[in-house]
Structure 1
Amino acid sequence: MENQPPSLNDRIAQRVRDLRADRGLSLDALAAHCGVSRSMISLIERGESSPTAVLLERLATGLGVPLASLFEAPVPASGPVSRLADQPQWRDPHSGYVRRNVSPGGSASPIHIVEVLFPPKARVAYETGAREPQVHQQVWVLEGTIEVTLGDDRHRLGAGDCLALVLDRPTSYYNPTRQIARYAVVIATSPSSWR
């Protein structure tokens, strides 16, 4: 059992600890910066919590990184190829959506690709605000239908549709159907924010 790879919660715990240390933030400072309690951050950093996507997004914003970077392995990938078997999957305990980081972890690329399987009637709402550096996303629906709301603007997307957005205001995702939706999110940001 000693040689088992770390769980995804352990990987998230390590990334949050490392990113917080890299930025010289105490637990209290990060809590004040992102609106997540000190005790919850401590639980996450110890791998003793199954945080929701909304909570992880708040932490990522407070740390100045895209949400996808919290799922990266602490040790960079050994090459430019990300094999399907090595792509981590994570299920949001609140909505049940499953995200898979497709891009090779640890690369210096400013682009990251995530695949999402979104259950029927599921909803996730992020309290995203303006960020530095600015984070751009494109949401490409591969199967099914989703509704993406950006501030006051709502976009209904079907298979093949692609929406470009900037993470600078509250954003929510909703699957209004009784079928699972599958979509890809392409995230682009400044390479310096991926450390």
Structure 2
Amino acid sequence: MRLAPSAAFHPIGYPLLLRALWPFHSVELIAGVQHAMGLAVGVMIYAVLRRRGLPGWGAALATVPPLSDASFLRLEHAVLSDTLFIFLVVAGLAVLMWSPRLSLRAATGAGLLFAPAALTRTIALPLFLGYGDGPARRPGRRPGLRSSLCAARDPGRLPGRSPHLHPSSQMWDKLPNVRHAEEMDVRLAERLAELRVERGWSLDELARRAAISRSTLSRLERGEISPTAALLNKLCVVYERTMSRLLAEVESEPPRLVRAEAQTVWRDEESGFVRRSVSPPHAGLRGEIVEATLRPGADISYDAPPVPGIEQHIWVLEGAVEITANGRVHTVEARGCLRFRLWGASRFRCPGPDPVRYALLIVLP
């Protein structure tokens, strides 16, 4: 009988690995290399989950299947391509997920790992990874500062709103907004780092003062995540700044006339809070005006004012809101106004059934 080559496609990824190990003439070496790949899979899973904020026990639990499942161990002992394929795919995913923001370097590195995976098992050929236009657009995650600022510059592009421009025109018009939001995101991260360094604090010291984990602060200062309203308020308390003043410090010098399209909007989808800076802080001025909206059921608490004794005037425009200030609870309905100087904790709750929209006048002491 004479063997003839088949015309079918044969993946060459695993044969290349065997070819590299051929001079050693050792099946045990092949099993050892595959065992190392299996261990590397567990390490990569643990490292990525820890970097993305999962506690140690949760990340360790996720490594149990690849590290201890009997089927995985059998595959590592066999001269089969499965272990190499799993290693390459997990490595590519780890590169993509290492940072919340997809960079050209990460995409290139993942492609260089997925390509040999496709050459190892044909099942990888139809592998498509859609990463969207950034982490803030993934389903289930609240938009960060970047998408919030883009929405502020163009309300017609908010989720659920129909665009009124031709798609191609909308795409080109959106580019300056995206670029501005990216610059704003970077400047905010840099400013937060500067404020900490100016005070001579380490990340551990700031974490203790603000009651925020060190890893979250580190990722925040590197620009890997966008802070929620509650998180940013804790930092404002520590740095003795109002939220609007902190955001104004990373914006360009604001004009005397603040047009609607230039008013910065902060959105915290998780807590149902939208904050528009109608009249942002300005050099020489002690007051600012904020328009806020809370969805029904939204409940936001602040441990302390950013500046003790700060003066607040809250004028309800639509709906009703329950406000707790200095230990007293007030229910303010449409057209009503609540005035006080804040020394302690505060709480804003929308009892529903409709959203509440109110104007907040803030005056520094």
Do the two structures share a fold, i.e. TM-score over 0.5? yes
What are the within-5 Å matches in structure 2 for residues 23-62 of structure 1? 23-62=199-238
Which letter maps to 2:181?
P
Q: Distance in 1 between matches of 2:251 and 2:324?
A: 35
User: What is the aligned-residue RMSD (CA, Å)?
Assistant: 2.4
Paired residues in the alignment total 189
Residue 166 of structure 1 and its aligned partner are, at CA, apart by 2.5
What are the within-5 Å matches in structure 2 for residues 156-171 of structure 1? 156-171=331-346
Give secondary structure in 1 for the equivalent of 2:215: helix
Q: Distance in 2 between matches of 1:185 and 1:55?
A: 20
Cα separation, partners in 2 of 1:10 and 1:108, compared to 1, 3 Å: farther
Which letter maps to 1:18?
E
Tell me if structure 1 keeps the 8 A contact 2:237–2:307.
no
Tell me if structure 1 keeps the 8 A contact 2:312–2:340.
yes
Q: Distance in 1 between matches of 2:355 and 2:241?
A: 28
Tell me if structure 2 keeps the 8 A contact 1:77–1:104.
no
2:157 corresponds in structure 1 to none
1:101 corresponds in structure 2 to 277
Which letter maps to 2:320?
T
Tell me if structure 2 keeps the 8 A contact 1:73–1:106.
no
Which letter maps to 2:350?
N
Tell me if structure 2 keeps the 8 A contact 1:44–1:51.
yes
Match of 1:4 among 179, 184, 187: 179
Residue 127 of structure 1 and its aligned partner are, at CA, apart by 1.1
Residue 37 of structure 1 and its aligned partner are, at CA, apart by 2.0
Give secondary structure in 2 for the equivalent of 1:4: helix
Give secondary structure in 1 for the equivalent of 2:181: coil
Match of 1:89 among 261, 265, 268: 265
Q: Which moved more, 1:88-97 or 1:27-36?
A: 27-36
Residue 24 of structure 1 and its aligned partner are, at CA, apart by 3.8
2:312 corresponds in structure 1 to 137
Which letter maps to 2:303?
E
Which letter maps to 1:145?
A
Extract unaligned runs of 5+ from structure 1.
191-195
Question: Which is greater in Rg?
Answer: 2
Give secondary structure in 1 for the equivalent of 2:180: coil
If each structure's strand is expressed as a fraction of its own residues, which one has the higher value? Answer: 1
Q: Distance in 2 between matches of 1:23 and 1:178?
A: 45
Extract unaligned runs of 5+ from structure 2.
1-174
Q: What do residues 65-93 of structure 1 show as CA deviations (whole Å, max 9, x unaligned)?
A: 11222322524425312121111111113
Higher relative contact order (CA 8 A, sep 6+): 1
Is 1:13 paired with 2:182?
no
1:193 corresponds in structure 2 to none
What are the within-5 Å matches in structure 2 for residues 146-185 of structure 1? 146-185=321-360
Q: Distance in 2 between matches of 1:86 and 1:161?
A: 28
Q: Distance in 1 between matches of 2:261 and 2:230?
A: 26
Q: Distance in 1 between matches of 2:334 and 2:358?
A: 8
Residue 11 of structure 1 and its aligned partner are, at CA, apart by 4.6
Identical amino acids, percent of aligned pairs: 35
- TM-score, with length taken from structure 2: 0.47
Residue 105 of structure 1 and its aligned partner are, at CA, apart by 4.8
Q: Distance in 2 between matches of 1:38 and 1:108?
A: 35
Give secondary structure in 1 for the equivalent of 2:362: strand
Residue 106 of structure 1 and its aligned partner are, at CA, apart by 4.3
